[in-house]
Every structure is written in C-alpha cells, then in structure tokens.
Structure 1
C-alpha cells in the first residue's frame, strides 16, 4: 500500500506542478481510446517523457486525486535542507532587506550580497541554485507585490472578470457568511441567546442553494468545511432528520469555489482539502464587491424571508421600530435551521428566479439532464467517503506518538492502533473538529484516518471555545503550568456557573446551549429514523412552515 503523503511537507512548487498535470492527465484518463500519439502529446504539454506520462496516468487511474500526480521525491526527504540554519537565515534576511524592495535588484545582486554576508560570518557560501530555490519557494504574488506594488500583483494574479462564468451546475460555487436577523432562544429555558451565524453556498449557474451551516460560533475554517461538506453530500438524510418533506437534489463536488478574502477562506486546511479533491479556489479581488453579487443577493433574499419570524431584528432601525426582538424571540437554533430548510427546498428553489426566468430547481434539472437544445453535464462527481471528505477540511496539527499516546491542546488521546507507531521519528498529521475535542483523527502511514479518543474516558466532551475559556480562567487565577485535570476541572466549574446563571445572563445561556449541542452531537451515534411532524407542530390551518411565507422579489 502506498504511504500517505505528508501534505504539510509538500512544497508550493510541487503542488503547482501537480495542478498543471491534473488537467492534462484527467483528460487523458477520460479518453475511451488512447493511442501512443495521445500520450506523447500529453507528455509534451506537461514536460515529461512518454514513459513518465504513462506512469502518471497509471497512478491517477489507481487513485484519481491531485496527490497522485505530485513529483516523486528521491534522495533526502522533502523539506530537509542541506543548508546550515545560519546560512538559511542569512538568505532569508538578505531577501527581505534587499531583494523584496521597490528598487528591484537582480538575482545576481542577491547572490553576491549573500556570499558577502556568509564570508563575513565565516560560513560556507551557498550555491546560486540553493539561493534561487529558496527564492522560488516564496509565493509569486507576494514577490510581485513587494517589488512592483499591490496593483501590479492584482493585475497579474487576480481572477479575470470572465472567470465568474458558470456554464454548468457546480462549475462555480460562491460561499459567504451573515448574521441571521433573528434572535434564537435556549432550548430548555426559552430565554433569548443571540443572533446565529449562517454560512451559505450558492451554485452560480442554477442559483440553487448548494449548502448551509448554522451556528452560534462566528465564521471559521470549520464552518466553511461543514458548509462545503453539506453542499457536496446528498441532502435526503439531512431533510429527513428535520422532518422536511421536499426535494433538494443539489449535491456533488464543485469544480471551483469563489470566496472573499476573510481569514477563514485562506486557511491551510481549506486550501489543501480543496486541492486534494480537485476543487479550484478563486479569491475575490480586494475592493470589488460586485464579484460576490450572487451570494450577496441570496443572503438578502433569505434574510427577507427571515423577517417574517418572531424575534427578528430586521435589517435596519426604521424597519425595527419600537419592537423588542428579545421579547418576541421563541425559536431555537434547531428550529431556525429547520425553517431555513423549508424556505430553501419548499419556496426559494421553486419560485421563478428573475435572473434565470425559471425556478432554480428547474435550472438544476436542465443543467444536469439537458433538453432538446442544451446538453446536460451529467451526474455530478459524488463523494465516495463522506467521513474522509469532511476530515480532509478540518484544522491540521502535527504531533509525535509517544508511549502514552498523542497530546493535543494539553489533552491526552489514545487508541490501540497507536502502539504500532510508538517511537515514530516524525510528527504525524492530526485533524480535529473544534466543536468536539473528545475525538481526533490521526493520519496513519497507510493513508487512513484513525479515531483517537480521550486517554481518560471519564472526561466529558468539550469544545475548543470551552477549552480556551478554561485556559484563560486558569491563567487569570495564576496557574503558570496547566495540565489536563486542571482544564477539565475549570470546564466543569464554568458549566456549573452557567447552569446557575442560565435564567439571568445571555452569555451564560449561550455557553449552556453550545455545551448542549456538543453533548447532543456526542450522543447521536446511530440516528434513528426521523419522526413525522407532530400535529401540534403545525399551524391551525395544517400548512407546512414554508407554506406560510409570502413571495419575495428576486434581483437580476
């Protein structure tokens, strides 16, 4: 079995080369009849020999992923430099101080200055090639920005206006966040908590909602990962779990994501996960809000519908008037999520979209199956392993496997499989879900993610925000060194305080509701079949929630 590739050790140059190979090899793999001439033509396009191209094709057919096309490393391990640390530090310092300036000196000037500094320090002089390799490892966009200015970098590397064209379903998906204009309540006390955050994904071609994620937490790399996962997977189980009787056929791996420049959209986990599954990323040019028009209009449409709900804050003071949203709030986070599901599957997807002239659902079906005039794209690329797909987008850490297991966030984790890798020389990749730290995922040398649980199984599930709050509390109390037991004692103390203050403090109710969601996630190991809607869940006229809404105008 092929050893797993350490994604954090792959250079930018190798990733770029694999991306260049992907389009050519993918096209070659799809050809039903391949001749040697076809392979020779592909070899000339990617700059390889014919035999090497055959080898790349075989590797891609065995595992159709971008990592199959990475250059195979020989000799010393990738990332292990032969340069002395002192020499490497001089190269970096001279590059920053002299080369990356608006004076735009030549590479030969950089090499000469590095040689002067090294001789003065009594160090071995590096070759020009070693210096150029270190320079080439820097992002080209950043080098251009520092030597020629930000405008030059945008003109050269920013997406062109035509890149927003989406000729078929899932060719381009936009994602963004918004605070929902409604206050949710605690599920037990029914006291107001806060406005939740909504992450939405829209398929630009059909204007269908591709996916969503609703949370009390501010936008993060995890909320983006959960939205992408929900967008790529079939929605039948999601709808059934919430008792929604409607069709939401949008699923499949998108070809490109169009995102703004927020921190969560530039995370390493998101970038590596997208490239692993062949998803391209385009970032919106700075100060060009019109590039995100489709997702912005969708958010505006959904917020217009939300203004019908009790507890709405509306979008401005004039519309709000003297209404107190906290007093009228009655819906929990789960109920708002269920309502949004009805609004999307039952209303938005079925109303005529003014920009398309047809409902988004009809546009999706036409884009997939085609008609007498347009050839459909066919079935979308499905996710073969949903668990692995989500894990590929979760935050990354690297940890050594020791005799007592793996330590992450000062918490010990263990699984019997770790006994195989005790003493492994290099740190291993670990991914974690910030919503629930009771389980993490270690990438083994065989390319499989293994579940690790608390070493002490008596510990309760906690989230990363609880963990950080506990650390802050302990440090405020003067604890310089924090161990696992102290963290969980602090979490338990904070939970007791939150329970006692639940009726008097919004912040405490918010903490309690977040904790309940972590415990609920932990308890649902094998979800049962969803129960039908209760009679008392429906309004007096017997209509579904989405049937109570009024039509809203769609913008072009």
Structure 2
C-alpha cells in the first residue's frame, strides 16, 4: 500500500522539508531542514516532490522459455532412454543389464526386456515412447454421412424453449430412415450436442442471452482488495429531486451527480454536482475532487461542520460504457498518470455493484425526504407535485449533499462491520498506532488539465480559434506558421482561456485575444447557435447575444426553463470550484514582469 513514508521529501512554502509523522486526519508533522525545526502543518499545504529521483529503477530480467515444452510422455521416454544407455555402457550380459534397468526404473523385468529390445540409439528417446491401445480419444465410429445429419439436425432443432435432445433425435431418426441409414441412439445424439457446443451456448440458443449469462457468467461475491486507492468505481446518476433557480425560485431541473467510491473502504472519494448532463468535464471535476485534499472546497461551501479528509490517486477505476468514459482525453490522461481503466460489459450493472448500491442508498435513504423529491415509485408519489413543492436552490442542495455524504461516512456499513471513516483510519494507521497519509499529486494543475475535454487546432499569426473565439499568447510565437495541429484543452464552464499542449507534453495558457470580453460557458455559446436561429456574424455579436440572454433571465418573469438553466450554470461557474482554484494557483507561479491578460482591467484614476 502506497503512503507517505518517514523522511520523505515534501515542499512547504517553497522549502524542502522531511515528513515526520501524521498527527490527525488533516495535519502532519514535518522537519524544516533549513530552520532545523519540526512544524505541524495541514496536509493540503504540502506539495509532493517526484520520487523518480530517489527510487532506483528495478531491472527486470526476462526469462526465456522454450515455445514448445516436452510432453510428459516424452520426458518419461527420455528418462528411460538415459537409464538404459547408462546400464548398457556398464557392460555385462543381457540379464545383468535388464536387472539394473529394472532396479533403477522400478519396473518389472519382463517389461524391461521389452524396453531394452525397443532401445534404438539412432531413433533416440522416441523409440521408447508409450502409445495407448484402442481407439484414440475423440475418434468417431459413425460414418461421416450420419455425423453430418446429426450436426444439421442440432443446428436446426436446438432453438427456442422446446429444444431438447429427444426433439433432435426424432429429427435424426426421420432423416436416417429416409436415407436408409442406421439410426444412432439418443445417447449418441446427446453426446454430439454436448461436444459440439458449450453449455452456455446451448442455454443461449434455448433460453436467450440473459439466461445464459445469469447461469454461467462468473459473479464473484467480492473483489479481493488489500488497501485503499486500489480500485474505484465511478458512475453518473440524476438526483430524484427538483431544484429551483436562485433568481425566481421557480422549478429548474433535477441535478446530476458523478460519484466515485473507493471499494476497499466504501469511502466516497469525490463527486461532482451539476445541472448539466454528464460530460468529460464531469469526469475531470469528479476525479480532481477525489484526488485532492478538500480544505479549500469545504471553505467554498461555508460548512464548518463537515469533515472530508479523504484524498489520493487510484490505481484502477471501474466504469460503464458511457461515451465520456471512453473519450480520447480521458484515456490519455489515465495512461499518463498510471490509472488503469476497467470497462464493464454492456448491460451488466452487477459488475459495478458497489457504485450502483451507493446511488440507491442516497436516492432512497436521503433524497426522497427532500421537498421536491420526484420519487421513483409512482404509487408512493401519489398526487405529490414535485415541481410545486421544490424549494432548494443548487447552492443549498450542494451543502445538503455534502452533509449527507458526511453522515454516510460516519454510519456503520453492513459489509465492513464499521463506518467507512473508521475503515479509512484503520487502513492508514500502522501497528504502532501511528497515523499516515496517502501520497500527494506532484503537479495538480497538469493532472486536472490532462482530463479536460480537448480539440485539435493549428496556430496562425492571429492565434487559434476555438468555438469561433480567438485566443492568443506570446508563447505561440515560435509555433506560428507550423502546419502541425496542437491539442487544445478547454473548460466548458469557463471559456476565458484555453491550454495548448506542445510537442513535449507541457501546457501553454492562452486567454481571449480581446481581454475585455466576459467569461462565458459552452452551454451559452451553443444556445445562440441553435438551428432555426440567425447565426452570429462575428465574435462581438456572439458575446452581445449571450449578455442579452443573461439580462433577459434577470429581468423577465417568464423566461424559459432551458434559458434559466444555461444562465444558472454560468452563475455557478463563476463561483469557487476546483478548476478556478487550480487556475489561480497556476497564476501565482507566473514569472514576474509582463501583463496578466486573464485579470480584469483596472482603469487609471483621472488626473485632476
């Protein structure tokens, strides 16, 4: 199990320190090498130093194996050949040679007389190979004509619920009698049925794919896991509760959540709540929430009563076959950061049983008691009007959901015999009772950007254009004129900047070419480009229409639900979230000097 080890180098406030010990779920003691003092700090304030420079590479020796190994019979023949050759070399009469062979091989003398007689120096060990008597295994006594009839009858008659060997035999009997051929018995036909197809295939032809899968597919009761962060499961689900918008308090929509559970501890490592449908952004935000310490996120919620000390990078993630889980950007980022992706087979939800059960736990154990709950059961819902009773805004629901997760972590889990929080602490507490922590990400910003959605673009003297919006950075100058297409990463909730990956895997940040334009979301951009509406002529008209939509929602009482959802998303994206937090962290690392075009323009005071 990976964990931060004693005296491991970490970075704190720009100084290299050594990890000493963990003192609580969110604090550790480090040794400040420069000041020669021990300091207790929060785990979220530390940065990891790559272990690549201190952990030697292990040279793996390749073991050469022969492609074709000798069979057991050939091994035995070789052993007997060597014994007989040695006995003959010792000289003596035939009787003496046979006696020595019998004693050394543990065989009877008559048998050894036959072996010595079969011994042939020129033929080698093959002269002593044993051969079975009688009919060879798999040999068929029936004529090829009858075999062909049986095979054809199996193909045509073994279908549907009424398929059985009696039905097939009756068909074989009729065809053989018509051809004046001997009729094979029913047991022979039964053997051909069983030998020609597997039991699963026979069940599939008789009862269907689902019945065959239910009967023969492997369904282990539990995964054999040894430690936290070894295997996660991730999935999307829509919440069975309607929320209202912040402006008019009218029914808006049912929010979506992307949940990630650590199967070993049953801890919810992270999640992402949104009012837009799942996408690559949902995956990136959920994973980033899971791997990072959550101090700043809890501050943004304003809920001091919530504890969320779980973080770390998974070794493997179990997923269904959703499009965003197979996106190129997701697979690239997972390979780069050594996260194995395991997609389950189509229409097999039991392979994601832990995350499916977690979804059900929150829907039936928590959400159904909220005002505006839709309730999946029509009988239970009755005359309850979910839209009319809806009362919680997205921000309020966000805090409520975080508290519900916190309650879940502190309640006893039936399969664990303890709470998920206790299981987590137990896993990161050694035999001496000393608490430790999982390793930190080496570069959290790059990790997050790797998972963002992407497109490819060429860079012209004017910059690059994405979604008909121009971006520029001075870092583009060496790339201008190149015909190569570069990967461009973008955040659908904030289009004010993009990140361009160069040939060496590093990212260049590029803001709007016109730094005075407002930040917008991809949803707002798509709304004004729908079919049947006049397309905007230029970049300025795009932003003019988006701002007009925002003003419409703020002033109109009867704005459409869809428009309110889009504008609500833009409001939420301007709040504190993981993407913005990491972006601000990246800005602080910029070299001094030059202008930062991502910041708003501050006008000069007029001279008097």
Cα deviation, residue 39, structure 1: 2.5
**Equivalence for 2:396:** 335
2:421 to 336, 361, 370: 361
1:401 to 455, 459, 474: 459
**Distance in structure 2 (CA, Å) of the matches to 1:410 and 1:466:** 13
Residues 236 and 257 in structure 2, CA contact (< 8 A), matched pair in contact too: yes
**Distance in structure 2 (CA, Å) of the matches to 1:477 and 1:361:** 53
**Equivalence for 2:119:** none
Residues 461 and 518 in structure 1, CA contact (< 8 A), matched pair in contact too: no
- Unaligned runs of at least 5 residues, structure 1: 1-27, 46-150, 529-556
How many pairs align?
382
After TM superposition, the structure 1 stretch with the greater mean CA deviation from structure 2, 223-232 or 394-403, is 394-403
The 3-state SS of whatever aligns with 2:261 is strand
**Equivalence for 1:319:** 380
Distance 1:352 1:442, change over 3 A: same
Note the alpha carbon deviations across 1:498-556, whole angstroms, 9 max, x for none.
Answer: 3444445322322221222234469977999xxxxxxxxxxxxxxxxxxxxxxxxxxxx
**Does structure 1 residue 430 correspond to structure 2 residue 488?**
yes
Residues 169 and 377 in structure 1, CA contact (< 8 A), matched pair in contact too: no
1:237 to 296, 318, 321: 296
**Equivalence for 2:541:** 486
**Does structure 1 residue 251 correspond to structure 2 residue 271?**
no
Match runs of 1:67-466 below 5 Å: 164-242=223-301, 243-303=303-363, 304-345=365-406, 347-371=407-431, 379-445=437-503, 447-466=505-524
Distance 1:391 1:160, change over 3 A: farther
Q: Which has the higher contact order (CA 8 A, sep 6+)?
A: 1
Match runs of 1:50-61 below 5 Å: none
RMSD: 3.3
**Equivalence for 1:138:** none
**Distance in structure 2 (CA, Å) of the matches to 1:489 and 1:241:** 31
Residues 174 and 202 in structure 1, CA contact (< 8 A), matched pair in contact too: yes
**Distance in structure 2 (CA, Å) of the matches to 1:507 and 1:40:** 58
1:469 to 519, 527, 537: 527
**Distance in structure 2 (CA, Å) of the matches to 1:316 and 1:214:** 24
Residues 254 and 279 in structure 1, CA contact (< 8 A), matched pair in contact too: yes
After TM superposition, the structure 1 stretch with the greater mean CA deviation from structure 2, 486-495 or 238-247, is 486-495
**Distance in structure 2 (CA, Å) of the matches to 1:257 and 1:439:** 30
**Distance in structure 1 (CA, Å) of the matches to 2:64 and 2:543:** 60
Residues 502 and 508 in structure 1, CA contact (< 8 A), matched pair in contact too: no
Cα deviation, residue 350, structure 1: 0.8
**Distance in structure 2 (CA, Å) of the matches to 1:485 and 1:330:** 38
Q: TM-score of the superposition, structure 1-length normalised?
A: 0.63
Cα deviation, residue 427, structure 1: 1.7
**Distance in structure 2 (CA, Å) of the matches to 1:469 and 1:452:** 24
Cα deviation, residue 469, structure 1: 1.8
Distance 1:276 1:202, change over 3 A: same
Residues 523 and 566 in structure 2, CA contact (< 8 A), matched pair in contact too: no
Q: TM-score of the superposition, structure 2-length normalised?
A: 0.58
**Distance in structure 2 (CA, Å) of the matches to 1:287 and 1:33:** 44
The 3-state SS of whatever aligns with 2:511 is strand
**Distance in structure 2 (CA, Å) of the matches to 1:30 and 1:354:** 43
**Distance in structure 2 (CA, Å) of the matches to 1:282 and 1:524:** 30
**Equivalence for 1:534:** none
**Equivalence for 1:546:** none
Cα deviation, residue 290, structure 1: 0.9
**Distance in structure 2 (CA, Å) of the matches to 1:439 and 1:44:** 53
**Distance in structure 2 (CA, Å) of the matches to 1:29 and 1:443:** 23
Distance 1:285 1:269, change over 3 A: same
Residues 445 and 583 in structure 2, CA contact (< 8 A), matched pair in contact too: no
The 3-state SS of whatever aligns with 1:430 is strand
The 3-state SS of whatever aligns with 1:189 is coil
**Does structure 1 residue 41 correspond to structure 2 residue 61?**
yes
After TM superposition, the structure 1 stretch with the greater mean CA deviation from structure 2, 448-457 or 502-511, is 502-511
Residues 553 and 559 in structure 2, CA contact (< 8 A), matched pair in contact too: no
Distance 1:500 1:352, change over 3 A: same
**Distance in structure 1 (CA, Å) of the matches to 2:325 and 2:270:** 16
Residues 180 and 197 in structure 1, CA contact (< 8 A), matched pair in contact too: yes
Distance 1:160 1:230, change over 3 A: farther
Distance 1:491 1:31, change over 3 A: closer
Residues 498 and 511 in structure 1, CA contact (< 8 A), matched pair in contact too: no
The 3-state SS of whatever aligns with 1:412 is strand
Note the alpha carbon deviations across 1:295-320, whole angstroms, 9 max, x for none.
Answer: 11111111121222222222222222
Residues 400 and 427 in structure 1, CA contact (< 8 A), matched pair in contact too: yes
**Distance in structure 2 (CA, Å) of the matches to 1:341 and 1:381:** 24
Residues 242 and 387 in structure 2, CA contact (< 8 A), matched pair in contact too: yes
Larger Rg: 2
**Distance in structure 1 (CA, Å) of the matches to 2:467 and 2:386:** 38
- Unaligned runs of at least 5 residues, structure 2: 1-50, 66-208, 585-608
Residues 502 and 512 in structure 1, CA contact (< 8 A), matched pair in contact too: no
**Distance in structure 1 (CA, Å) of the matches to 2:319 and 2:468:** 34
Cα deviation, residue 384, structure 1: 2.0
